[in-house]
Amino acid sequence: MLLNQFLLLSAVLFCIGVYGVLARKNGVLVLMSIELILNAVNINLVAFGALTDNVAGAVFALFTIAVAAAEVGIGLAIVLLIYRNRRSIDLSEIDLMKG
Amino acid sequence: MLAGIAPLFGATEFVRPAIDWHAAAPELTLLGFGALITMIDIGWLERARRIAAPLTSLALLVTLVPIITLALDGNDRSMFHGGFVVDDYSLIMKATFVLAGYVVVLMSTNYIAEGDYWENEYYGLLLSSILGMILMASARDLISIFVALELLSIPAYMLATWRKRDLKSNEAGLKYYLMGVFASAVMLYGMSLLYGASGSTLLVDINDAISVATTLDAVVVIGIIFVVVGFAFKVSAFPFHTWAPDTYEGSPTPVTAFISVASKAAGFVALLNLLFVGFLGRDDIFEPLMWALAAASMTAGNLMALRQTNIVRLLAYSGVAQAGYMLAPLAVAGTVPDKALTASVTYLVIYAAMNLGAFAVVIAVARKTRSAKISDYRGLFHYAPGLTVAMTIFLFSLAGIPPLGGWLAKFRVMEAVIEADTASGLVLGIFVAVNSVIALYYYARIGFGMWAEDAPDGDLTPVNVPLSLGVALTLTALITIAMGVVPGDVVGRFTEVSLLAGG
């Protein structure tokens, strides 16, 4: 089975996601980058599960998808709240507290 | 559909796993009450506001009943091939979470009711977060650890953002949320690698598979590092602590207390489960990692706490340092596993009591001064002697002064790192000792201001402490003192690593 290709794809997705979280200043784009990492995880889980004939990987991926949906629901709500209060979702401007 | 994928995975006929209802009773009780509170809120709206807080307290006290009956029964129980284990260790942690939740409800009652916030949803979310925590105490499987982690985190993100129109609360919630989901995504990536290296999500099987070196060794190393880093965010260890001070300052104070105690303890419980059941065969990987995290957290946390002017931020940085002390025994977990587990659990339980107490005093004082500046604590003794005594107990306990609880906690940590008798363990012991002295400076500075100086504006009207807050203060103060003076060490004798896996 072509395991390496799947792992490589997921590693690349993971790196793009981490870069996006660290470098992007737009709240929604950061959320999308986190989704990329979670999809990298799903590819890993399903690929390993298929390789070892083990259903746990696919089940884990289903849990990840369901929980990620809940997480993004909350995240978009928070970003929307901030947009309503500040008229901007630029993360670098959100610095009321420091120290 | 199922018939379609079944041949792919070589599935056999489905057999329903046996369910031990007694073992799952604490979780089910809390789940039932959480659903009840949500439905009452939908059905009754305004009238429900009056009963939300008492009902939540009742829910938590009723949840203690099955925990106690399970403890009296004494048998270790295990379900789902060892994915859900009820033993003495998990019962102690469940009782700690439930009691901590109860104290948070006591602290919230007046704060939330007087602040014109949404009340019933608050308690519903609090209960589901606590449900995630007690589930975490029993989780011995990657999937259940992940689900428990999200169940406890997602409501906490919403609680941190509770003051919807306050920009600081928005910022607190956003920082907590972004750091939290990023950490759990990194942790999940590590988990997927560990699953790939071992072919199982059960921690026991993972330990068997990764203890022997294979061609997949690099995958195992990266997997363990990512999982540990994910939880380092959760327990706010340096350098993954950056969200903590801002989130603590901006959130409503009872929520801050909840996040800094219960959520941090749940992160530690997950780490303990993972390290002692899943990774114990690979202490060569996690021990140096834990050593670095522990040493960096206590030093950086204490140094940054020195220059804080806001008491909540000071407690946040002191929390980073305390996380360092709690991580210290894990750095010798491979050498003296039983001692290390005892030290961590003892520290967690005592930390919960003393830190909740400190936040209760902060809430009480803020009812009068409306601020969290350290300078406003000057002269507290002249108008609130009771609060001053309580705060002194909590601060000195955090500093580790005998005979208070914090002293026993530090003693257990020192005992573990010294008994390991390795060079790295001894150096870590020196780190703990030096840092305790640094920490004493900023705790004692607040104490000195409260007892010896005059109130800044000469205003000597007493602080009005509501009944429920008073109960919370008394409870935490009594536990903090009792943990230190009662001989026979209530927590320590229950924890043995061999029992954790549930047989």
Minimal C-alpha gap between B42 and chain A (Å): 20
Name the pLDDT band for A95 (thresholds 50, 70, 90): confident
State the pLDDT at residue A99: 60
Q: Is the pLDDT of residue A26 over 80?
A: yes
Question: In angstroms, what separates the C-alpha of B146 from chain A's closest C-alpha?
Answer: 9
ipTM: 0.94
Q: At A74, which amino acid appears?
A: I
A19 contacts in B (CB within 8 Å)? none
Looking from the CA of B303 toward its CB, the CA atoms found within 13 Å total: 9
More confident residue, B9 or B97: B97
Q: What is the mean pLDDT of residues A69-91?
A: 89
A82 interaction partners in chain B (CB closer than 8 Å): 170-171, 174
pLDDT, mean of residues B165-187: 90
What is the b/e burial string over B191-205, where b = at least 16 CB atoms within 10 angstroms of the residue's CB?
Answer: bbbbbbbbbbbbbbb
Q: What's the confidence (pLDDT) of residue B490?
A: 59
Q: Report the SS3 class of residue B331.
A: helix
Residue-wise pLDDT for B93-123, tens only, equals: 999 999 999 999 999 888 877 776 677 788 8
Smallest Cα distance from B435 to chain A, Å: 21
Place B10 in a pLDDT band, splitting at 50, 70 and 90: low
A32 band by pLDDT with thresholds 50, 70 and 90: very high
Q: Determine the Cα–Cα distance for residues B65 and B74; give it in Å rounded to an integer.
A: 14
Per-residue confidence (pLDDT) for residue B190, from 0 to 100: 93
Residue range B144-167: mean pLDDT, rounded: 91
Specify the pLDDT at position A60.
Answer: 93
> A54 vs chain B: nearest CA distance in angstroms?
6
Q: What mean pLDDT do residues B163-173 have?
A: 87
**How far is B113 from B99, CA to CA, in rounded Å?**
21
Higher pLDDT, B403 or B128: B128
Mean residue pLDDT of chain B comes to 86
Query: Which pLDDT score, from 0 to 100, does residue B501 have?
Result: 47
Task: Identify all chain B residues contacting A81, using CB atoms and an 8 Å cutoff.
Answer: 161, 164, 170
B10 contacts in chain A (CB < 8 Å): 53
* Dist CA B207 CA B184 (whole Å): 21
Q: How many Cα atoms occupy the beta-carbon half-sphere of B86 within 13 Å? A: 26
Residue B8 scores a pLDDT above 60: no
On the question of pLDDT at B194 being above 80, the answer is yes
- pLDDT tens profile B403-422: 888 888 888 888 888 888 88
DSSP state of B80: G
Local structure of residue B463 (DSSP, 8 states): P
| pLDDT tens-digit series, residues B208-263 | 888 887 777 888 899 999 999 999 988 999 888 888 999 999 898 999 999 999 88
Reply yes or no on whether the pLDDT at B4 is more than 60.
Answer: no
Q: Which residues contact B463 (CB under 8 A, 6 or more apart)?
A: B364, B365, B367, B368, B383, B384, B387
CB contact under 8 A, A85 and B170: yes
pLDDT of the residue at B219: 87
Residue A77: predicted pLDDT: 92
Distance from CA of A66 to the nearest CA of B (A): 10
Q: Chain A contacts of B190, Cβ < 8 Å?
A: none
- Compute the average pLDDT of residues B139-145: 92
Q: Look up residue B398 and give its two tokens.
A: 């955090």
Query: Quick one: pLDDT at residue B491?
Result: 59
pTM for this prediction: 0.90
Mean pLDDT of A11-40: 92
d(CA B181, CA B157): 10
Mind listing the pLDDT tens digit for each residue in A42-74? 999 999 998 888 888 999 999 999 999 999 999
Q: Is the pLDDT of residue B156 over 50?
A: yes
pLDDT band at B395 (very low <50, low <70, confident <90, very high): very high
| pLDDT at position B492 | 55
Q: Which residues contact residue B60 at a Cβ distance below 8 angstroms, ignoring those fewer than 6 apart?
A: B30, B98, B99, B101, B102, B105, B127, B130
Helix (H) or strand (E) holding B301: helix B283-306
User: For the residues of B194-257, what is the DSSP string, one character each?
Assistant: HHHHHS-SBHHHHHHHHHS--TTHHHHHHHHHHHHHHHHHHTT-TTS-THHHHHHHHS-HHHHH
- Of the listed ranges B17-21, B302-306, B325-329, B483-487, the least confidently predicted one is B483-487
Mean pLDDT within B164-184? 90
Cβ neighbours for B390, distance < 8 A, ≥ 6 positions apart: B357, B360, B361, B473, B477
The full length of chain B comes to 503
% pLDDT > 70, chain B = 93
Query: Is a pLDDT exceeding 50 seen at residue B90?
Result: yes
Which of A38, A48, A78 minimises the CB distance to B177?
A: A78
pLDDT of residue B3: 47
Q: Which residue of A has its CA nearest to B249?
A: A97
Q: pLDDT confidence of A19, banded at 50, 70, 90?
A: very high
pLDDT on residue B488: 56
Q: What is the pLDDT of residue B5?
A: 52
Phi-psi region of B454 (alpha: psi -120 to 50; beta: other; left: phi over 0): beta
B15 touches chain A (CB under 8 A): no
Contact at CB, A54 and B150, closer than 8 angstroms? no
Write down the domain spans for chain B.
Answer: 281-498
Residue B300's identity, in one-letter code, is: A
For residue B393, name the pLDDT band (cuts at 50, 70, 90): very high
| Domains of chain A from N-terminus onward | 3-87 (1.10.287.3510)
> DSSP letter at B447?
H
% of chain A exceeding 90 in pLDDT: 57
CB A30 to CB B178 under 8 A?
Answer: yes
| Amino acid at residue number B237 | A
Look at A37 and B189 and tell me if their CB atoms are within 8 Å: yes
Q: Residue A59: which of B143, B186, B191 has the nearest Cβ?
A: B143
Average of per-residue pLDDT across B281-306: 90
Residue B382 pLDDT = 84
Cβ contact A14–B165 (<8 Å): no
Supply the pLDDT for residue B368: 82
Whether B177 sits inside 8 A of A82 (CB atoms) is no
| Digit-coded pLDDT (tens) for B18-49 | 888 888 899 999 999 999 988 888 877 677 67
